Amino acid sequence: MKEFIKKHSLLLPVAIYGIIYMSWFALLEEKVQEPVHIIHSVIDDFIPFVEVFVVPYFLWFAFVAFFGIYFYFKDREDFKKLAINLAFGMTAFLIISTLFPNGHELRLEVFPRDNIFTDMVKHLYTIDTPTNILPSIHVYNTLCIYHGVKNSALFRNKKVWRGATSLLAWSIIASTVFLKQHSIIDVFLAFALEIPMYMLLYKGVSLKFRSIKEKSQMETM
Predicted TM-score of the model (pTM)? 0.88
Local structure of residue 49 (DSSP, 8 states): P
Beta strands 102-103 and 37-38, pairing class: parallel
pLDDT computed for residue 31 by the predictor: 81
**Three-state secondary-structure class, residue 126:** helix
Q: How many domains does the chain have?
A: 1
**15 is in which domain, residue-wise?**
2-220
Spatial separation of the C-alpha atoms in residues 21 and 214, rounded to whole Å: 42
pLDDT of 143 over the 90 cut: yes
What tens digit of pLDDT does each residue of 78-124 get? 999 999 999 999 999 999 999 999 999 999 989 999 999 999 999 99
Contact 59, 168 (CB under 8 A): yes
CB atoms within 10 A of CB 115: 11
pLDDT computed for residue 193 by the predictor: 96
Residues 6+ apart with CB under 8 A from 166: 146, 150
* Residue 66, φ and ψ in degrees, nearest 5: -60, -50
Spatial separation of the C-alpha atoms in residues 141 and 89, rounded to whole Å: 8
Local structure of residue 128 (DSSP, 8 states): S
> Peptide bond before 135: cis, by omega within 30 degrees of 0?
yes
What tens digit of pLDDT does each residue of 14-70 get? 999 999 999 999 999 888 767 679 999 999 999 999 999 999 999 999 999 999 999
* Residue 38, φ and ψ in degrees, nearest 5: -80, 125
Contact 136, 31 (CB under 8 A): no
